[in-house]
Structure 1
């Protein structure tokens, strides 16, 4: 079966988009498709597969699959690229776009189209209650809490941005951080596993991050990770409520509004290429 797709990226976080408005996807095994099309050797390659659908509670709905085929809840950079796609491909002419995700409606706003295509996203409120993230254990929150990983003790702060994140504040990115990220992701304290971010505080207005995504592994950036990283830094009194979050390929501007408790993320997006994928079902 021939499937039309478009690949977009934000700071190297790359996703494959399939537009259900323009082709019939009925009967497709989307989990199998996600595993095959995101493969970087035998497929198109990407950090995930995103289906563009008509929403039930908003004009559009983002259906997101990890590279291992599991459905995912939310993706900050993915939703920004989603907004660019529907804007550029004639599905929406408004500057502000509402996008339905698994547990919330996200509002995206096109700030700039010429040169860099800049999208601002209202990520909503962070979830701090450990049962809702979820994180096993005592106490209402998981802030600067010690857990044992292999033979070492590390301190973590956990936040949900519609998907679970666990932040580890570090002085430097040690060699082999990916192995530690993988172990934290699958730690028994997290019943649904967790995304893991290592956060280095440069000053009260700048942070650096390295990302280990749940069910995806190392990725170059994460919008929800940047959001959760800011929340963790504020909760631990490390930064102000607005920072530049640096990743290997660039930065996002992230702010946590004290009045409405919402997180806002601003950054660039890019359409990389489009094509036709020859899908062979199982």
Structure 2
């Protein structure tokens, strides 16, 4: 792409996985384009495009691609499972491959295309308080908060609450309060999980830096891990989220996740929009 033209335009894709929606920018062959002000402007559903997370694809010297994640408030996210699946689908469609590696802040992830479905290994869960992270040393399986949540790190922090009725939970009120609790120095995602059987969970989620979303891939991973750790489910479960279903399988090599992906649109940001964003920097 011509450098002068690249400065004046920015192409992007809109995808979603189980209603968890993303703006995806493919920056391979050029320098990274996404900045904190741009992420905030794009994330505005009234004045921008709107997304739950933004994913930027970059060239990699250690994997097939590097992948960076941004929240609506302009903060960085260490992991995003559903966006990773969507990007993997994009790469499979573009290259014809059925397996790729993706380097994220979480580490090196593996994605496979099996019988038309995208499977991503989101890595091993983190149980050390420093890795989650928590504010000070403590056991992660029972945090000292009302509701007795469990903390799980999946490249980003999660607090998983087990509730009798997920539909009755005030996700916004409870989630917002827990996200910013001093126990979580990097804030936290908050999951509310209702165990229906040994193989099925209903989950709703509040994502740090974004709010209520219809699905959260890393949150589903954390919920599956927490439920199995407490002996409430098997290690392979189906999780119903607000936007559909995700399948989780906690294996010896990590937590594998699969679910639907949808490519919604390709578009280009206007020069006027980009110039207004640059004026705020």
Q: Is the 8 A contact 2:20 2:243 kept in 1?
A: no
Q: How big is the alpha-carbon RMSD for the aligned residues of Structure 1 and Structure 2?
A: 1.5
Residue 176 of structure 1: CA displacement?
A: 2.2
Tell me which residue corresponds to 1:120: 119
SS of 1:44's partner is: coil
Residue 156 of structure 1: CA displacement?
A: 1.0
How many aligned residue pairs are there? 266
- Measure the CA separation in 1 of the matches of 2:155 and 2:137: 22
Q: Is the 8 A contact 2:81 2:216 kept in 1?
A: yes
- Measure the CA separation in 2 of the matches of 1:210 and 1:78: 18
Structure 1 residues not aligned, in runs of 5+: 148-152
Determine whether 1:8 maps to 2:15: yes
SS of 1:143's partner is: coil
Alignment of 1:157-236 (within 5 A): 157-173=150-166, 174-236=168-230
Tell me which residue corresponds to 2:79: 74
Q: Is the 8 A contact 2:10 2:269 kept in 1?
A: yes
Residue 42 of structure 1: CA displacement?
A: 0.9
Cα deviations by residue, 1:11-45 (Å, 9 ceiling, x for unpaired):
010111111126x456x562111111121111111
* Segment of structure 1 superposing worse, 261-270 or 238-247: 261-270
Alignment of 1:83-122 (within 5 A): 83-88=88-93, 90=94, 92-113=95-116, 118-122=117-121
Alignment of 1:131-150 (within 5 A): 131-139=130-138, 141-147=139-145
Alignment of 1:198-277 (within 5 A): 198-257=192-251, 260-277=252-269
- Measure the CA separation in 1 of the matches of 2:48 and 2:192: 29
- Measure the CA separation in 2 of the matches of 1:275 and 1:15: 13
Question: Which structure features the higher share of helix residues?
Answer: 2
1:30 pairs, out of 29, 35, 50, with: 35
Residue 110 of structure 1: CA displacement?
A: 1.4
Cα deviations by residue, 1:76-98 (Å, 9 ceiling, x for unpaired):
0010001011222x3x3320010
Residue 56 of structure 1: CA displacement?
A: 2.8
Residue 261 of structure 1: CA displacement?
A: 4.8
Tell me which residue corresponds to 2:4: none
Tell me which residue corresponds to 2:148: 155
- Measure the CA separation in 1 of the matches of 2:98 and 2:204: 31
Q: Is the 8 A contact 2:171 2:212 kept in 1?
A: no
